[in-house]
Amino acid sequence: MERREFLSGVSATLAVICVGGLAACGGKGDDPGPANPPGGGGGGNPKLTVNLANQLTTVGSFTIASGVVLIRLAAGNVPASFAALTSTCTHMGCTLSDVNGGKIICGSTCGHGSQFNTDGSVAMGPATNALAKYTVSISGNTLTVT
């Protein structure tokens, strides 16, 4: 093998490794998809159901379940008293882990520190896209997210 062939082979191998490494570092990539689910998030099968008689009884309480972050924003069992957003961070696709001080935090699984406001907008990057919003409906003490 001549020196030129050897160097060409090494260069090609390094290029493949570098490109593969860059793709791996990005995880799912920054802001992998649209901020809102197909169909605007309303209708269809329920994503989450909560009994308001014994869950989310105080302002600021929240649950993260079934792909939804559900937060009580105000007193009263009316849809406007709640925010329902996707629990998938728009930066790397991790599950959001906490709600603290009015911010939805992406922390424990990805560790990149993105934060979102309760309306879904980005409060702190590296995420740049808002969280998808879902529809909240209430019948009696049953809250349903679709």
Block residue for tokens 């079934």: 66
> Which residue carries 């939804």 as its tokens?
68
Place of tokens 């998030």: 41
pLDDT digits (tens, 9 = 90+) for 30-40: 433 333 443 34
pTM of the model: 0.68
pLDDT digits (tens, 9 = 90+) for 62-87: 998 999 999 999 999 999 999 999 88
